[in-house]
Every structure is written in C-alpha cells, then in structure tokens.
Structure 1
Amino acid sequence: MPIQDIILFGPDRPEPFEDKPDPSRVLAGAPSGLIWNYHQSADQKLLAGILGLTPGKTSVAYDFPEFGVVTQGRARLADESGAERELAPGDAFVIPAGFKGSWESLEPTEKHYCIYMQTEEGANGRTLAQVTDFQAPLPAPEEGAPAPEKVLEGNPKNLTWNLYESPDERLFCGLWESGPGKWAISYEESEYCRLLTGHSRLADEQGQTLELSPGTAFFIPPGFKGTWEVLETTRKQYVIFA
C-alpha cells in the first residue's frame, strides 16, 4: 500500500454535502453546516471527516460515540442540566452515546470527527461530566516501546494515555507520545492521528515518505506497511478502530 493511500486532512477536500439541522432543533441563529467525509470503514461503522458550522445553536442527541477536535473557531457544548464547556482550536473530546444537550457555534467553526456507528444498550442520560476531555488532568500513562525486532534505529520509548474505549473494545481514543527512533509498522486496524508536537516521518515499503508536523492530521487505512520515524519527540491525538 503506497504512502498516497494515507488520507491527509488538508486543503484538497472531497466534495462536501450540506448538513442543515431540522428547524425543530434550532435554538438560536440560523446554523448550517458542510460535511467533508474523508473515510468510511469497509463495514460502514466508522466515519471520519471534517464538519464546518456557521454560528448558531442546535439541540443534539447522540446515538453513537463521537471523537471530535476543534480546528477553527469557538463553540460551546452544554448538557440538559445547563452545564457547559467552551471549546477552542485544539480542544479534543469524545461525546458518548446517550448524551443530550446543545451545540452552539459562537463563530464559524470546524472540527475533525470520527463517529463510531454503534449503539450502546442502556446509553441514555449522559451528561457533560461523561464527555471525555483531552485537556483535563491526564491519568498516569502506560509506558511502552516497539517490539525489539521492529526497531530499526535508536531506542524509542512511548507513553500512551488511552482516554476512551468503546464497550465492545473496537474504538480507542487518546494521546500518544514517543521519543526519537525508527521502527517497522504494519496496520491491521485503521487510525486517525493529529500531531500536537514534534516531527515524525512515515514511509511506505517503497521508501516514499510523508513528513508530519504539529497540526498535520491524517488517516491510516488497514493494510498499510512501512516505517514510523520520530525525528523530534512527538505527541499525537489518536482514534484507533479495530
């Protein structure tokens, strides 16, 4: 699988389609949206892309869990009790199935999304307290490293903060950080990544490369093989779909 099969969330976007809320859901303003869907898994369970929203406020009810990261603008998420959280560029979160409340775009807003189209039995009444906040104090990380036989250069060590796991153990969301080094990779799962710090390089089996720097967001499909090289200590947000 060549490096070109990695999906970059960049300026060359797929054809968008309009996302206009039902009038009964509009609480303020005249919100509308555009959806650029970059990826849909073979079993149609995972959708990944970009949602652009104009200012306005709508009621929301989540049947499925959704990872999101605001990349432009400001928004406010509130639950049915009125508890609210403001979201700015870089803020990442997972909204669980069963959450109800409102989303208000305070200015033109864009977010990256990964939606896992899987219902959860008994998921209802979820509140803001159950929204996974990537900005909150983090738990202790899990320390790890590539298997020795995969290491090609250096002595890379990594830290993983797995912040969300779906009940069926198919969706994992969190933060990952690695020191310098290079190792072989082989993806059976798919993964959305967005770099926060550092500099890394992906290469396919033919040696074609992709440079990764803060703000780079991309999707690795299952079947990709090659190498991951950390040139400067790198931290990323991730969504893994197994």
Structure 2
Amino acid sequence: MSQTPPATTTVVKTIRFDPASAADPSMPTTTREWYADPTGCFKSGFWASAPGRAEIRYDKDELCVILEGVVRLTDGAGDSQTYRAGDTFVIPRGFTGIWETIEPTRKFYAIHRNGGN
C-alpha cells in the first residue's frame, strides 16, 4: 500500500491588491492561504504587496519564492540582500529587520511555526 498522497492540481489566479485589508495603508498587501495543516504548524500560500517598508520580527521559519517583483531584506546589523523574480530564500525564526518591497511583488510562501498559529 502506497503512503504517497495523490497529486492535486490548483489553478493559481491573479492576486489583486485590496488596500482595505492592509495592516499598514502605506504598504497594501494581500494574502491568500493555499494550505494549512490541522495543527496550524505549517501554512502556505500566495502574498502580494505594493511598494513599501515594514519592520519585521519573525517567530516562524518562512520559505519565500519571489514570483514577480523585487524586495530587499535588511537585518539588525544593517546587512541587506535583494531578491528578484525567480529567487528563493528562507527567513529564519528570530530574524529581526526591515522588509522593503521595491516593486509590486508576488511571492509563494511556506511557513513553519512551532506550536501552530
């Protein structure tokens, strides 16, 4: 008996920016959760943002795949890295710094959080 789950197909639709749902009106973002496990420890989905800047403090590990746009992450020591469409990177739990969306950006994310939610 196979333990491999069956493959599924999902149609990815355009994510529209909805400024009304933004936490910071200067940086409108939209998130569409694609999957969440029953424990809340693992989530994945699509995220889109208009240009802007936000201070971030990570209590989770996040895999990011930039599908479109340009972002820059700057850590607490002032070291920065720029990511563009096609780049994949991980933001580790405990990271503190600045997330800058330089151009309108879309990403696929996968988040792991100990203990869920």
TM over 0.5: yes
**Number of the residue aligned with 1:145:** 22
Structure 2 alignment gaps of length 5 or more: none
Paired with 1:214 and 1:132, the residues of 2 have a C-alpha distance of 23
User: Does 1:205 find its partner at 2:82?
Assistant: no
State the shift of 1:137 in Å: 4.7
User: Does 1:163 find its partner at 2:58?
Assistant: no
- Please point out which of 225, 236, 242 is paired with 2:107: 236
Given that residues 142 and 160 in structure 1 are in contact (C-alpha distance below 8 angstroms), is that contact kept between their aligned partners in structure 2? no
Q: Look at both structures and tell me which one has the larger radius of gyration over its CA atoms.
A: 1
Q: Which runs of 4+ in 1 moved over 6 A?
A: 139-142
Query: Counterparts of 1:1-242 in structure 2 under 5 Å?
Result: 61-62=3-4, 99=5, 127-128=6-7, 131=8, 133=10, 136-138=11-13, 143=18, 144-146=21-23, 148=24, 155-242=26-113
Given that residues 187 and 224 in structure 1 are in contact (C-alpha distance below 8 angstroms), is that contact kept between their aligned partners in structure 2? yes
**What amino acid is the match of 2:63?**
Y
Task: Name the SS for the 2:86 alignment partner.
Answer: coil
Structure 1 alignment gaps of length 5 or more: 1-59, 63-98, 100-126, 149-153
Given that residues 15 and 30 in structure 2 are in contact (C-alpha distance below 8 angstroms), is that contact kept between their aligned partners in structure 1? no
Paired with 2:100 and 2:72, the residues of 1 have a C-alpha distance of 5
State the shift of 1:207 in Å: 1.3
**What amino acid is the match of 1:61?**
Q
State the shift of 1:220 in Å: 1.1
Distance 1:216 1:235, change over 3 A: same
Residue identity over aligned pairs, in percent, reads 32
> Structure 1 length as normaliser, TM-score?
0.42
> Structure 2 length as normaliser, TM-score?
0.83
Distance 1:162 1:207, change over 3 A: same
Given that residues 42 and 112 in structure 2 are in contact (C-alpha distance below 8 angstroms), is that contact kept between their aligned partners in structure 1? yes
**1:70-89 deviation line (CA, Å, top 9, x unaligned):** xxxxxxxxxxxxxxxxxxxx
